[in-house]
Amino acid sequence: MFETLQQQPADKILELVAMYREDPRADKVDLGVGVYKDATGLTPVMRAVKAAEHTLWETQDSKVYTGLAGDPAFADAMIDLVLSGAVPRANVAAAATPGGTGAVRQSFELIQMANAGARVFVSNPTWPNHISMLNYLGIEMVPYRYFDEETRGVDFDGMLADLKTARKGDVVLLHGCCHNPTGANLNSAEWDAVIGVLLETGATPMIDIAYQGFGDGLDADAAATRKLVAAVPECIIAASCSKNFGIYRERTGLLMVVNNAGDATALNQSTLAYLNRQNFSFPPDHGARLVTMILTDPALRADWQSELEDVRQSMLGLRTALADELQRLSNSDRFGFLAQHRGMFSRLGTTPEMVEKLRKDHGIYMVGDSRMNIAGLNAQTVPILAKAIIDAGI
C-alpha cells in the first residue's frame, strides 16, 4: 500500500540547516532557525529552569499520567501569565498541548469540529505551519494583507479592508505580539480598530502568542490579547512556552478557549479534553511542570523574569546595532524598520534571488522570503551581515 505515497515538500528551514552545516566558511552566519542564541551561539537552559528541574528531580515520586487536559495548575499559571485577569478564570477552558504548534493544531481541529464550513483568515505572510496545517485539514484559508514591502511595516488599511469581508462563523488568526515572520506589529489604536471589525462582522478571533516577553516585555506583549478577550464574545488562544522559557524540546503549550458569557466553559473544556484524547491522549508534563513551578514560586519567577528581560534587551540591542551599521554603510535610514520591529524575526523585504546571493557570496543563511532571526546575530556578526546586505545591493 505504501507505494501510493508521494514525496512531500522538504521543510525549507531544515534544508537551510543542512546547507549551513555543510558550508566550510568560517564567517558564515545562521539566521534561519527560529531559536534564541546567546553571544556564544548557544541556546542555554535558563537558570530558573535548571533550578526547577533540580527540585523536581529530588521531589517527584511518580510519572503517572496527568489528566487529558494536563495539570490544572499549569493551566491556571499560564492563564494568569497571558490574560492576567482580563476575563474571569471561570470563562476560560484550557488544555495542555505538545508545544505551541500542538495548541495551534488543536485550535484548527476545534474550529473544524464547531463549524465545518469555517474560513480561517491568516496574515500575508504568516508562519508557514499555519498554512500547512490548514491545507492538510482541508480548511479554507483566506489571506489578509499585512506586510507592506515598501515600508516594511503593516499595511493596515489593506488589512482592515480584507478583515471586513469575514463573517460570523469565520475565524481571524492574529499574532499576539512579535509577528512571525515579519517582526512588524500593530499599535494599540490599530488593535482597537481590529476589535471593532471583529465585533461588526461576528468573526471569532484566534490569537497565536508564541513570543510573550520577547518584544516590549511580558505585560506589554500580552496587552493586545488581554484587551481583545475582554471585548469579544469568544476567542481562541494558542500559547507557547518554547521561547520565553527556553524549553523548546520539552514541547510545552496551552490552548485556551474564552467564552465571556461563561455558560459554555464546561462544554468547551470537555471538547478540548476529547480532542486531546483523539490526538495524543495525555499531553507531556515535564515542561508544563517546570513552568508551573517557576510561575508559582516568587524567587524562581523573579529570576526567570530577570533573565528573560536580559534576552529581550539583547535582541533589541542587536536590532539597533544592525540598523545603525546599515545606516552608516548606506548613508540612508531605509533600514530603520529593523530597530522598530519586535521579537526574534524581521523580514528584510527583498527577493529570493537576493537571499540566495547572500548565501552564495557571503555565507548569510536566511529563509527565502528574507525572514531573518535577529537572535542569531552577535556583536561580531552584525557588521558582517550589514556589509553583505550593502554589497549585495539590497
Tens-place pLDDT, residues 189-229:
999 999 999 999 999 999 999 999 999 999 999 999 999 99
pLDDT in tens, 10-62: 788 888 888 999 999 988 999 998 899 888 889 999 999 999 999 999 999 99
C-alpha dist (Å) from residue 293 to 308, 332, 379? 16, 48, 34
63 is catalytic: no
Domain residue ranges of the chain, discontinuous segments joined by +? 11-45+305-389, 65-296
pLDDT in tens, 67-105: 999 999 999 999 999 999 999 999 999 999 999 999 999
CA 155 to CA 146: how far, in whole Å?
5
Cα dihedral across residues 50, 51, 54, 60: positive or negative:
negative
CA 98 to CA 77: how far, in whole Å?
17
The one catalytic residue in 127, 148, 166, 321 is 127
CA 361 to CA 25: how far, in whole Å?
11
pLDDT in tens, 353-378: 999 999 999 999 999 999 999 999 99
The one catalytic residue in 103, 243, 369, 392 is 243
C-alpha dist (Å) from residue 135 to 130, 139, 204? 9, 6, 20
CA 254 to CA 106: how far, in whole Å?
10
310 is catalytic: no
CA 304 to CA 244: how far, in whole Å?
9
The residue length of the chain stands at: 394
Q: What is the pTM of this model?
A: 0.96
Whole-number average pLDDT of the chain: 96
Residue 4 is classified by DSSP as: G
The one catalytic residue in 48, 118, 210, 239 is 210
CATH number of the domain at 65-296, please? 3.40.640.10
User: Any idea which architecture 11-45+305-389 has in CATH?
Assistant: Alpha-Beta Complex (3.90)
Residue 341 C-beta-side C-alpha neighbours within 13 Å: 33
243 is catalytic: yes
Is 246 strand, coil or helix?
Answer: coil
57 is catalytic: no
DSSP notation for 45-100: PPHHHHHHHHHHHHH--------TT--HHHHHHHHHHHHTTSS-GGGEEEEEEEHH
Say yes or no: do domains 11-45+305-389 and 65-296 share a fold.
no
